[in-house]
Amino acid sequence: MTEKEYLQSHSTPASEALQWLERQTHLRTNHARMLSGREQGSLLALISRLAKPACILELGVFTGYSTICLAQGLAPGGTIHAVEINDELEDLIREGYSRAGIEDRVQLHFGDAKQIIPQLDCCFDLVYIDANKREYCDYYRLVFDKVADGGLILADNVLWDGKVLQEPVPQDAQTQGIAAFNDMVAADSRVENFILPVRDGLSVIRKLGPEER
Ligand SMILES: C[S@@+](CC[C@H](N)C(=O)[O-])C[C@H]1O[C@@H](n2cnc3c(N)ncnc32)[C@H](O)[C@@H]1O
């Protein structure tokens, strides 16, 4: 048995809806590797359950796997705003939400995250950043004042396949975007953070309250 198989066999399995969505994502899209998958999905669900957010913002939905995981922790009456630029994914996203029974708690927005964030008049307890890697710094700046004190910002792919560690750092816009984001968060005295080396790196960032700064 491999380490991965052992870990999977000793962790709570994915729900039927998530297993269905993972299969459909492989069958119906060309970029199934973008899906967060069982390991990271379980972690997102656990973090959300611990935080019990009333309002979540997700940037980069793809087929909706992470929306379903994050929604597991919503407080009663809570809402998740899910933002995706590719509207060709809508049917699959909505079918997954319906199978997971979360369609009443999701507000799905199609468009560029940088245009949509300023239109959302909400105070977010949890934000998940997983859209355009070149624009993580912009998302962080745009959303920061809309995050509650003590709220969480989770950012995926912050190791970017190890490219951010290379010397010199590759000049492609995606690696540069992630590296700049990690530097910005590390230097921001308004937050505390920890990078979990799960999958491609998940940065868990907590916004400090005024009395903690
Ligand atoms: C890595 S995938 C998201 C995976 C998803 N969170 C999951 O866990 O299954 C990134 C998604 O961000 C979307 N995206 C890229 N640029 C975007 C933008 N400017 N605004 C909104 N979504 C964007 C892509 O279309 C893609 O579906």
Amino acid sitting at position 80? I
Full-model pTM: 0.98
At residue 15, the 3 state secondary structure works out as coil
pLDDT, residue 57, reads 98
Q: Average pLDDT over the chain, rounded to whole?
A: 97
82 C-alpha vs ligand 1 centroid, how far in Å? Answer: 10
10 C-alpha vs ligand 1 centroid, how far in Å? Answer: 30
Give the confidence band of 42 by pLDDT, cuts at 50, 70, 90. Answer: very high
Domains, the chain, with CATH or none: 3-208 (3.40.50.150)
Sequence-distant (≥ 6) Cβ neighbours of residue 9 within 8 angstroms: 1
pLDDT, residue 213, reads 86
Kindly state the helix (H) or strand (E) to which residue 7 belongs, with its residue range.
helix 3-9
Ligand 1 pocket check: which of 20, 69, 86 to mutate, most ligand atoms within 8 Å of Cβ? 86
Is it the case that residue 77 has pLDDT exceeding 90? Answer: yes
Give the confidence band of 53 by pLDDT, cuts at 50, 70, 90. Answer: very high
**SS3 annotation, 166-193:** CCCCCCCHHHHHHHHHHHHHHCCCCEEE
**pLDDT tens digit string along 132-188?**
999 999 999 999 999 999 999 999 999 999 999 999 999 999 999 999 999 999 999
At residue 66, the 3 state secondary structure works out as helix
**pLDDT tens digit string along 26-35?**
999 999 999 9
Give the confidence band of 10 by pLDDT, cuts at 50, 70, 90. Answer: very high
Q: Looking at residues 68-95, what average pLDDT do you find? A: 98
**pLDDT tens digit string along 104-115?**
999 999 999 999
Q: Is 48 in the pocket of ligand 1 (CB under 6 A)?
A: no
124 C-alpha vs ligand 1 centroid, how far in Å? Answer: 19
- The residue nearest atom 9 of ligand 1, judged by CA position, is 35
Ligand 1 pocket check: which of 18, 25, 106, 132 to mutate, most ligand atoms within 8 Å of Cβ? 132
Give the confidence band of 89 by pLDDT, cuts at 50, 70, 90. Answer: very high
210 C-alpha vs ligand 1 centroid, how far in Å? Answer: 32
Q: Is 22 in the pocket of ligand 1 (CB under 6 A)?
A: no
What are the backbone dihedrals phi and psi of residue 51, each rounded to the nearest 5 degrees, phi first? -80, -25
**pLDDT tens digit string along 180-212?**
999 999 999 999 999 999 999 999 999 999 999
Rg (CA), the chain: 17
Q: Is 46 in the pocket of ligand 1 (CB under 6 A)?
A: no
Q: Yes or no: say if 84 and 60 are a contact pair by the CB < 8 Å rule.
A: yes
Selection from 138, 153, 169, 149 nearest residue 203 by Cα: 153
At residue 136, the 3 state secondary structure works out as helix
Give the confidence band of 56 by pLDDT, cuts at 50, 70, 90. Answer: very high
The Cα 49–Cα 37 span in angstroms is 18
